[in-house]
A and B are shown apart, each in its own frame.
Chain A
């Protein structure tokens, strides 16, 4: 029979091994499921990944929403006032999706520059701007300031 002390060691050893395994699992899952956010300006400069999905945010450009004949495929343009990204989405849009309002879309960009969205995020407040969309607009404004006032 094992001594009590040895049993205790076994217990602690198994515990530590399992916790290590769990930590590995969590960090690995975290790493592979992180979705990064980019602004339309960053998309225009080609700073975005081409093989994985990401999120973009900004405003839906006025007059840019065009519906396909099936009524479900929608084309629109996301702008941060400096640059624009054309987006295609197939499905029913969230209640608060409107021209001139903030939007965040998740998907990937193809070689033709078209952003194919798998998800258009719904936020339920008329005055609420998705934080990512607000950040995109702000950074575009700051960029334009530095362009206007060169030192």
Chain B
């Protein structure tokens, strides 16, 4: 009964979404305040209905109701409760429901925190979000209903893929989806601006915190996924340029461009049309990513043939959303107006260059991800482009972008002078250039890539230090007053940029100095790597709730002193009969020691992989710094509601 109620609730949510997607938008066009006023209560109602439906599905998982197809396919009676709940988004149908739920959360949030936005604008924004919701709810109800029944009911479920039975599964997908779907807000703001013909500094100030918070979620989501892959896959890698990863990385690249472009739109009134286009692209890529990952197209292009309705619906939805919004853009972009002029050398042009580089990088990922699929779909052969392609493309594209991070914040708006910039940055340049050469020589490995990576990381550190120093020197009344004198959004930028430097440093050091061995080890054997001795003490049997495991112990010592014990595990999940490796990792600021078990060999021996990963944790720490910078920026007081009520009055006057 409960699944039917959940299904019914979803149908009601579709009706509400249809109303939300039509009346407020029409009302905004006709100036009908009653119709516009519907947007807010409808947003709340839609959230309540979808949340209820989601709870019904979660209940079916918790209560082990294997008469529901989706539950039977993605869960099992032996699965621990926290994973049974996380299994709600473990498959195609449930993750779409999570998507719709998160969309309704964002819709509700916009309706609650938009008192300062003019009625017509708010009605259009919520209406556009309602329309997106219609698409997803229709898709679920027509071709991928999570509440479909199984007749007769299964005795037990087929179990969640063991790879997903990890705490990472509980946090990573919801975080990632908060980011993906969060870009729908920026998208809706842009469509509303195109419909209404209003795009000014006030508009940018309203949409900026929403865009930044979505970007923060996406950053944390991608970081959590990368960290999960690192410890779960057992290969010591933290990024594989796999199509699923690329699907989340493309919106991140465009989203990063978008938050920079929005800054220009807010401060200088320029880049308006470009900002709108980026918002459309960021959300389109989010949609594309969702469907790439969730439609099975990556497993086999021809899987669409087995259930063509899904494929056709997905393509039609993408065409309507992307095509429709680009058409609207082509038709209405001229109404949003032009911005202020700027010189060849100015902060605007540096930010423009940053935007172009990020957009081109996103395109290069899109090419590497989609082109093999196209060839396959057209039966023109099977190819793959792996990490070598992305590595070859990314370094030359991102190096100038990171270099500009040092220059941009120091350059003046509108018109800057190169000689002056050089004078201000000469120390930063000298320090980073010297470090880039001396440090690798001291560590005994100087290659062009290591040199470039260190140069860029220290360039951002040094130029940021210069930037902060100049700010603080100008202010009066001590250090604390100096810190408080600059806005939170400015400090957010500085911290996020430092996060990039930490990230680049981590990537450079781990790529340049990591080492690994694969060895056959009998109990008592000692392997040597990076100055450490790894003694394998054999495995013992251990049983988990739904798996049996060989639990290994490796004592790590240096010069005879015990440093740590690594405990890699080889599990066999009993329901799916699927083996899984759990790496044993000793994380550390300076380096990670990492071991994973391969397979059992003769006489109690195992094949073992051991990795030494210097500064790998810095990669994720850098991502967290970027996210923290974003949070700080969006908490800036000029985005706060009570302050905005006043600024709206002046904002209205700036209509372009």
Which of chain B's residues 579-609 have a Cβ closer than 8 Å to chain A?
579-581, 598-599, 601-602, 605, 607-609
Other-chain contact of B163, A33, A72, A124 (Cβ < 8 Å): A124
* Given A33-B385, A131-B300, A135-B382; A92-B393 close (CB under 8 Å): no
Within 8 Å of chain B (Cβ to Cβ): is A112? Answer: no
Report the bound CA distance from A114 to B295 in whole Å. 37
Report the bound CA distance from A41 to B106 in whole Å. 53
Chain A contact residue count (CB 8 A cutoff): 39
Which residues of chain B are within 8 angstroms of A93 by Cβ–Cβ distance?
598-599
Among A18-26, A79-87, A143-151, which stretch is in contact with chain B?
Answer: A18-26
* Given A29-B393, A71-B520, A92-B518; A37-B382 close (CB under 8 Å): yes
Contact between B581 and A95, CB atoms less than 8 A apart: yes
Within 8 Å of chain A (Cβ to Cβ): is B12? Answer: no
Say how far B384's CB is from chain A's closest CB, in angstroms: 5
Report the bound CA distance from A19 to B376 in whole Å. 28
Report the bound CA distance from A2 to B299 in whole Å. 56
Which of chain B's residues 548-591 have a Cβ closer than 8 Å to chain A?
576-581
Report the bound CA distance from A88 to B369 in whole Å. 29
Within 8 Å of chain A (Cβ to Cβ): is B396? Answer: yes
Which of chain A's residues 27-73 have a Cβ closer than 8 Å to chain B?
29-30, 32-37, 55, 67, 70-72
Within 8 Å of chain B (Cβ to Cβ): is A134? Answer: yes
Within 8 Å of chain B (Cβ to Cβ): is A113? Answer: no
Contact between B389 and A29, CB atoms less than 8 A apart: yes
Chain B contact residue count (CB 8 A cutoff): 53
Proximity string of chain A (1-17) to chain B, C-beta cutoff 8 Å, 1 when within and 0 when not = 00010010011001100
Contact between B601 and A33, CB atoms less than 8 A apart: no
Say how far B598's CB is from chain A's closest CB, in angstroms: 4
Proximity string of chain B (600-636) to chain A, C-beta cutoff 8 Å, 1 when within and 0 when not = 0110010111000000000000000000000000000
Within 8 Å of chain B (Cβ to Cβ): is A91? Answer: yes
Which residues of chain A are within 8 angstroms of B393 by Cβ–Cβ distance?
25-26, 29-30
Q: How many residue pairs at the A-B interface have CB separations less than 8 Å?
A: 107
Other-chain contact of A37, B349, B371, B384 (Cβ < 8 Å): B384
Decide if the interface of chain B is mainly helix, strand, loop or mixed: mixed
Which of chain B's residues 504-522 have a Cβ closer than 8 Å to chain A?
518-520
Contact between A25 and B599, CB atoms less than 8 A apart: no
Contact between A71 and B384, CB atoms less than 8 A apart: no
Report the bound CA distance from A22 to B579 in whole Å. 43
Which residues of chain A are within 8 angstroms of B605 by Cβ–Cβ distance?
71
Instruction: Closest B residue to A36 by CB, please name it.
Output: B383
Within 8 Å of chain A (Cβ to Cβ): is B367? Answer: yes
Which residues of chain A are within 8 angstroms of B4 by Cβ–Cβ distance?
none
* Given A11-B349, A134-B300; A33-B392 close (CB under 8 Å): yes
Say how far B224's CB is from chain A's closest CB, in angstroms: 18
Contact between B578 and A30, CB atoms less than 8 A apart: no
* Given A19-B360, A26-B364, A91-B518; A131-B385 close (CB under 8 Å): no
Contact between A36 and B381, CB atoms less than 8 A apart: yes
Report the bound CA distance from A134 to B608 in whole Å. 30
Proximity string of chain B (364-388) to chain A, C-beta cutoff 8 Å, 1 when within and 0 when not = 1001100100001000011111101
Other-chain contact of B392, A11, A15, A29, A124 (Cβ < 8 Å): A29
Say how far A28's CB is from chain B's closest CB, in angstroms: 8
Other-chain contact of B609, A7, A71, A92, A125 (Cβ < 8 Å): A92
Say how far B382's CB is from chain A's closest CB, in angstroms: 4
Within 8 Å of chain A (Cβ to Cβ): is B397? Answer: yes
Say how far A62's CB is from chain B's closest CB, in angstroms: 18
Instruction: Closest B residue to A29 by CB, please name it.
Output: B392
Proximity string of chain B (352-364) to chain A, C-beta cutoff 8 Å, 1 when within and 0 when not = 1100110010011
Report the bound CA distance from A22 to B361 in whole Å. 9
Report the bound CA distance from A93 to B598 in whole Å. 7
Proximity string of chain B (234-274) to chain A, C-beta cutoff 8 Å, 1 when within and 0 when not = 11000000000000000000000000000000000000000
Known: A30-B393, A126-B577, A135-B382. 5 other contacts (CB 8 A): A7-B343, A29-B392, A36-B381, A72-B519, A95-B579
The 10 closest A-B pairs by CB, nearest first: A71-B520, A92-B598, A33-B389, A37-B382, A29-B392, A124-B163, A95-B579, A33-B388, A71-B601, A26-B364
9 contacts between A and B (CB under 8 A): A7-B344, A22-B360, A30-B371, A35-B383, A92-B599, A92-B608, A93-B599, A131-B301, A131-B382
Q: Contact residues of A with B, CB < 8 Å?
A: 4, 7, 10-11, 14-15, 18-19, 22-23, 25-26, 29-30, 32-37, 55, 67, 70-72, 91-93, 95-96, 122, 124-126, 128, 131-132, 134-135
